[in-house]
């Protein structure tokens, strides 16, 4: 898989398009701070700096989802505490109004939910103009077909593999059908876009997600409930890489 901005390097390895680090594959592992210790967010982020590709930051507003997490002021401070690129996942109402602030603050990617956006394409253009990647997020009960045609406006497609709102839920394998549909669509249209899965990703589920065609993996509990979060990231990556290498 070729990522926009990616470069080939010696030995079949690639150079990460954002961090310039040489990585073993083009897969992305993004630990979610939702499962981290919120009193020590900076340390928790730095604990995975050497192993993770992105830091997944879940913003919830108690309206789009029942849960409430952090907002822009915390994200702005956390950005200064780590070198990791931020994969900001907005589970909020009215992203048309609020999402740009997260791009302007310096997020690498900003994903908003299509269920909440009034003008997804317009917002994607504004996010890109503000310097971030644009991500389209699809919740559990939303079909993907109506949105395939707007994918050229996006850099990432986040497919929930649970119902958005809480960490620690059970992975729903039936939602991988959306990943397969999206992967087929991208292949037929020669579109370059990350397909990211979020929810219940762990050592016993990541392979199925990779087989379905995901190439970016969010993991909260599987990383931050582990004794060694950095090692948990490496183990997840190895499992997903084995699928890609074998396929
Ligand atoms: C939930 C969030 C997820 C969450 C995943 O709505 O979007 O990013 O952190 O947590 P786990 O990996 O524990 O399912
Ligand atoms: Zn998330």
Return the domain boundaries, the chain. Answer: 10-245
pTM: 0.91
pLDDT for position 4: 34
| 8 sits in which H/E element | strand 7-8
Residues forming beta bridges with residue 88, ordered by sequence position: 57, 110
Taking the C-alpha atoms of residue 204 and residue 245, their distance in angstroms, rounded to an integer, is 18
Q: Are strands 216-219 and 133-138 parallel, antiparallel or unpaired?
A: unpaired
Residues forming beta bridges with residue 23, ordered by sequence position: 14
105: number of Cβ within 10 Å: 20
**Phi and psi at residue 88, to the nearest 5°:** -90, 120
pLDDT in tens, 114-142: 999 999 999 999 999 999 999 999 999 99
Which of 32, 163, 214 is the pocket-test mutation for ligand 1 (most atoms within 8 Å of CB)? Answer: 32
Decide yes or no: CATH 3.20.20.70 for domain 10-245. Answer: yes
Biggest CA-to-CA distance, the chain: 48
Answer yes or no: is 189 a known binding residue: no
Tell me which of 53, 58, 87, 215 is the catalytic residue: 58
**Ligand 1 mean position to 88 CA, how many Å?**
12
Which of 30, 68, 198, 222 is the pocket-test mutation for ligand 1 (most atoms within 8 Å of CB)? Answer: 198
Q: Are strands 194-198 and 22-23 parallel, antiparallel or unpaired?
A: unpaired
pLDDT in tens, 167-209: 999 999 999 999 999 999 999 999 999 999 999 999 999 999 9
């Amino acid at each position: 898989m070729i990522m926009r901005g990616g470069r080939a390097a010696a030995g079949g390895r690639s150079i990460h398009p954002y961090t310039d680090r040489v990585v073993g594959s083009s897969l992305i592992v993004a630990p979610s701070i939702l499962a981290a210790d919120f009193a020590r967010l900076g340390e928790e982020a730095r604990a995975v700096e050497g192993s993770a590709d992105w830091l997944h930051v879940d913003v919830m507003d108690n309206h789009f989802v029942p849960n409430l997490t952090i907002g822009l002021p915390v994200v702005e401070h956390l950005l200064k505490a780590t070198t990791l690129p931020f994969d900001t996942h907005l589970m909020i109402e009215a992203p048309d109004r609020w999402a740009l602030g997260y791009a302007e603050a310096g997020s690498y990617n900003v994903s908003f939910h299509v269920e909440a956006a009034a003008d997804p394409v317009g917002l994607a253009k504004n996010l890109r103009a503000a310097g971030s990647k644009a991500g389209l997020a699809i919740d559990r009960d939303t079909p993907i077909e109506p949105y395939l045609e707007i994918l050229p406006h996006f850099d990432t497609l986040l497919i929930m593999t649970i119902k958005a709102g809480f960490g620690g839920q059970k992975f729903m394998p039936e939602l991988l059908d959306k990943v397969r549909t999206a992967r087929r669509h991208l292949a037929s249209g020669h579109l370059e876009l990350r397909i990211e899965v979020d929810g219940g990703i762990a050592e016993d589920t990541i392979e199925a997600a990779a087989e379905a065609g995901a190439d970016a993996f969010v993991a909260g509990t599987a990383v931050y409930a582990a004794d060694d979060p950095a090692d948990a990231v490496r183990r997840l990556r190895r499992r997903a890489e084995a699928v890609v290498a074998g396929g």
